[in-house]
Amino acid sequence: MSENIENTVGNAEDYDASQIQVLEGLEAVRRRPGMYIGSTSASGLHHLVYEIVDNSIDEALAGFCSEISVEILPGDVIKVRDDGRGIPVDIQEQTGKSALDVVFTVLHAGGKFGGGGYKVSGGLHGVGASVVNALSAWLIVRVHKGGKIHEMRFSRGDITQLITIVGDTTESGTEVTFKPDSSIFEETAFSYETLKTRMREQAFLNAGLKISVEDKRPGSETRDDFRYEGGIREFVTYINRSKTALHDQVIYVSGERDDSMAEIALQYNDSYNEILLSFANNIHTPDGGMHETGFKAALTRVLNDYGKKTGLLKGDDKLTGEDCRDGITAVISVKLTEAQFEGQTKSKLGNSDIRTLVDNILSEKLTIFLEENPAVGRSILDKAITAARASEAARKARENIRRKNALDGMSLPGKLTDCNVSDPRLTEIYIVEGDSAGGSAKGGRDSRFQAILPLWGKMLNVEKARADKVYGNEKLTPVITALGAGIGEDFDSAKLRYHKIIIMADADVDGSHIRTLLLTFFFRFMRPLIEGGYVYAAQPPLYKLTRGKTVKYAFSDEELSEISAEMRGEDGKGKVEISRHKGLGEMDPEELWETTMNPETRILKRIELDDAADAALEADEIFTVLMGEKVEPRREFIELNAKFAVNVDV
């Protein structure tokens, strides 16, 4: 026990050098939390939970844990529990401390102690329990082990109670309960949906592992249990749940070599999009890396070889990698001992052995699969060959756009009302829904730097169209030419005619529909436009408040109550008239200018890449689910998104 007492914080004369370092370590986390968890916003807050859960998943990977539960308790306290061996509580000879102590008080110690325990370690994964501890107002850990319950407590990373036996137990496992420090986090409310999505993903990635997530906050009690015996096969089925698959069976291959293993699940559907999710040691790698490179190379080679061998590919015809991934949904999961994560956000896998491993496994096993399942082989090849033809047609259509622009000196669309200034850094274009709103916008704008392009009628959903159809589309061509920066591979932000592209649509069904479709178009065909931060959504006011001659506008319900109180307060009991705001088209030009277009008073929402990606998903869902054959998800979707259902031709 004497070793333990020396670890108690607040006993200054007993500190040796290593302990001072420990204290500095956790102080550093509190000083610069962003360095350890990315941010102190909602994303960093949820990261705390992942850090803890990762430890239980590591225990499951080591083969000792079969069940994990995550609970949100009243007050946004988190409790994570597993049925593993329990963190060792005995004192280690070298350090004079228990593993439990080290895990929570030493930076970077999470999961890497003891040796031998983990074949697979997360690398970047689990920067650790000590970081969570440092950023928690309080944390309690209880270890069920050897017939006893061992408890230790902390406050803001400092030990407040040394390991104490608090009871007997017949079980084994670890339970951590913590409350994030509200003086560190801007946001301390947990999102059940966010945790649920993450836990479902982890259950897919660890076949057979039971993970439950439960919200115990009053008024929002709910619970989900995940367990997928099929692992990433079921992940692919889940992603494709509202799409039409090209073949019934999900194709699954796996293999290992030395200390590494790789598994791949894939299934084609009748859409034109590629969904490729890759993971290394259960960590999502959105920027890809060696596992994705190996996957793509093998898929392209196998399909070309198969096409040649079966005669489906003629002469010198070749499929590109993109042709081969048209309409694919694939999940790649690799596990390896020393994962190297690269890139700005450390979300790209650098280990090159993994490329070879994934390539070998997929080449060998997919070749066999196609030979044994010729009907599936044929439908995949047909799909890829059609993709190759479509991409050739798209190339020609793009070429046409380019040639036409060069020939007629970039003739602008007839519907565009351009501005006078030509320096794109100073100009903005309003893309407006409907002719009447376009009329008001024209009347209200500042013609020096604001251009207006009205759009009307049914917009193309690019999520459901081949690229060549998009390039020639009569609704989209005016947008492409007005922006002047090309499209697809030709897109060049340097040629933009305006540096602010503002989508102005009503806050109603049609408005949100057109916004969704336009954002989807930008996301798929002009992505640098979004990444460069050029796209905005105008925010028309929701309410108009009138009192005598005074007119004010409110952009939210909170603003409404604030402003109306303020207006009433000006001279006692007078009456404030409140009207829910009419459509853009019904506003007169002056009103539209004052509320929505005047740079001095308007509110613009800059569109982030995530917003656009969500729009694309939404566009996909709307059309696949509402027009699809599958009755069940369709009903569910209409219930969830009633506002969209109204406006879509079924």
From residue 562, alpha-carbon distances to 552, 556, 557 in Å are 11, 10, 9
- State which residue, 102 or 432, has the beta carbon closest to ligand TSJ: 102
Return the closest-CA partner of residue 354 out of 340, 365, 375: 340
- According to the binding rule CB under 6 A, does residue 82 interact with ligand TSJ? yes
**Among 26, 49, 77, 87, which residue interacts with ligand TSJ (rule: CB under 6 A)?**
87
Catalytic-role residue among 59, 175, 263, 433 = 433
- According to the binding rule CB under 6 A, does residue 267 interact with ligand TSJ? no
Q: Helix or strand or coil: residue 71?
A: strand
Which of 51-59, 467-475, 565-573, 634-642 is the region at the interface with ligand TSJ (rule: CB under 6 A)? 51-59
**Among 37, 59, 517, 615, which residue interacts with ligand TSJ (rule: CB under 6 A)?**
59
In whole angstroms, how close is the CB of 131 to ligand TSJ at the nearest point?
A: 10
- State which residue, 141 or 535, has the beta carbon closest to ligand TSJ: 141
CB contact set of 25 (below 8 Å; sequence gap of 6+): 106, 107, 130
Which of 52-60, 259-267, 277-285, 486-494 is the region at the interface with ligand TSJ (rule: CB under 6 A)? 52-60
Tokens of 11: 């006993």
CA distance 118 to 504: 54
- According to the binding rule CB under 6 A, does residue 56 interact with ligand TSJ? yes
- According to the binding rule CB under 6 A, does residue 52 interact with ligand TSJ? yes
- According to the binding rule CB under 6 A, does residue 289 interact with ligand TSJ? no
Q: Which helix (H) or strand (E) holds 355?
A: helix 352-372
CB contact set of 45 (below 8 Å; sequence gap of 6+): 180, 185, 187, 188, 190
- According to the binding rule CB under 6 A, does residue 110 interact with ligand TSJ? yes
- State which residue, 117 or 255, has the beta carbon closest to ligand TSJ: 117
Catalytic-role residue among 508, 559, 611, 614 = 508
- State which residue, 129 or 429, has the beta carbon closest to ligand TSJ: 129
CA distance 622 to 56: 38
Q: Treating both helix axes as pointing N-terminal to C-terminal, what angle do 609-627 and 631-640 enclose, rounded to 10 degrees?
A: 130
Cα of first residue to Cα of last residue in the chain, in angstroms, is 73
In whole angstroms, how close is the CB of 88 to ligand TSJ at the nearest point?
A: 5
Give the distance, in angstroms, between the CA of residue 318 and the centroid of all CA atoms in the same chain.
34
In whole angstroms, how close is the CB of 39 to ligand TSJ at the nearest point?
A: 21
Return the closest-CA partner of residue 374 out of 482, 191, 489, 247: 247
Amino acid at 339: A
Which of 82-90, 432-440, 444-452, 461-469 is the region at the interface with ligand TSJ (rule: CB under 6 A)? 82-90
Q: Give the other-Cβ count within 10 Å of 610's Cβ.
A: 9
DSSP state of 282: T
Backbone angle region of 91, left / alpha / beta, with phi > 0 → left and psi within -120 to 50 → alpha:
beta
Task: Give me the phi and psi of 66, to 5 degrees please.
Answer: -120, -5
In whole angstroms, how close is the CB of 50 to ligand TSJ at the nearest point?
A: 11
Return the closest-CA partner of residue 295 out of 265, 335, 269: 265
CA distance 102 to 51: 16
CB contact set of 177 (below 8 Å; sequence gap of 6+): 73, 77, 78, 79, 80, 139, 140, 141, 142
- According to the binding rule CB under 6 A, does residue 417 interact with ligand TSJ? no
| Active site (annotated) includes residue 508 | yes
Beta bridge partners of 14: none
- State which residue, 176 or 370, has the beta carbon closest to ligand TSJ: 176
- State which residue, 122 or 424, has the beta carbon closest to ligand TSJ: 122
- According to the binding rule CB under 6 A, does residue 176 interact with ligand TSJ? yes
Tell which positions 115-154 bind ligand TSJ, by CB under 6 A: 117, 129, 141
- According to the binding rule CB under 6 A, does residue 83 interact with ligand TSJ? no
Which of 13-21, 78-86, 344-352, 535-543 is the region at the interface with ligand TSJ (rule: CB under 6 A)? 78-86
| Active site (annotated) includes residue 433 | yes
- According to the binding rule CB under 6 A, does residue 55 interact with ligand TSJ? yes
Antiparallel, parallel or unpaired: β 328-335 and 260-268? antiparallel
- State which residue, 104 or 279, has the beta carbon closest to ligand TSJ: 104
- State which residue, 127 or 262, has the beta carbon closest to ligand TSJ: 127
Antiparallel, parallel or unpaired: β 222-226 and 210-215? antiparallel
| Active site (annotated) includes residue 353 | no
- According to the binding rule CB under 6 A, does residue 181 interact with ligand TSJ? no
Catalytic-role residue among 187, 353, 364, 510 = 510
- State which residue, 141 or 597, has the beta carbon closest to ligand TSJ: 141
In whole angstroms, how close is the CB of 11 to ligand TSJ at the nearest point?
A: 24
**Among 44, 88, 488, 540, which residue interacts with ligand TSJ (rule: CB under 6 A)?**
88
In whole angstroms, how close is the CB of 117 to ligand TSJ at the nearest point?
A: 4
CA distance 528 to 533: 8
- State which residue, 176 or 262, has the beta carbon closest to ligand TSJ: 176
| Active site (annotated) includes residue 506 | yes
Which of 30-38, 81-89, 422-430, 638-646 is the region at the interface with ligand TSJ (rule: CB under 6 A)? 81-89
CA distance 174 to 176: 7
- According to the binding rule CB under 6 A, does residue 174 interact with ligand TSJ? yes
Number of residues located near ligand TSJ, criterion CB under 6 A: 18
In whole angstroms, how close is the CB of 28 to ligand TSJ at the nearest point?
A: 19
Catalytic-role residue among 71, 506, 618, 621 = 506
- State which residue, 103 or 519, has the beta carbon closest to ligand TSJ: 103
Which of 49-57, 360-368, 404-412, 575-583 is the region at the interface with ligand TSJ (rule: CB under 6 A)? 49-57
CA distance 418 to 187: 44
Return the closest-CA partner of residue 382 out of 311, 484, 281: 311
> Each residue of 134-155: b (16+ CB within 10 Å) or e?
bbbbbbbbbbbbeeebbbbbbb
**Among 25, 44, 84, 307, which residue interacts with ligand TSJ (rule: CB under 6 A)?**
84
Tokens of 357: 């491993």
C-beta of residue 178 within 8 angstroms of C-beta of residue 138:
yes
- State which residue, 114 or 548, has the beta carbon closest to ligand TSJ: 114
C-beta of residue 282 within 8 angstroms of C-beta of residue 333:
yes
**Among 114, 443, 533, 574, which residue interacts with ligand TSJ (rule: CB under 6 A)?**
114
- According to the binding rule CB under 6 A, does residue 230 interact with ligand TSJ? no
- Using DSSP, how many helices (H) and how many strands (E) does the chain show? 22, 23
Amino acid at 99: A
Annotated catalytic residues are: 433, 506, 508, 510
- Site residues for ligand TSJ per CB under 6 A: 52, 55-56, 59, 80, 82, 84-85, 87-88, 103, 110, 114, 117, 129, 141, 174, 176
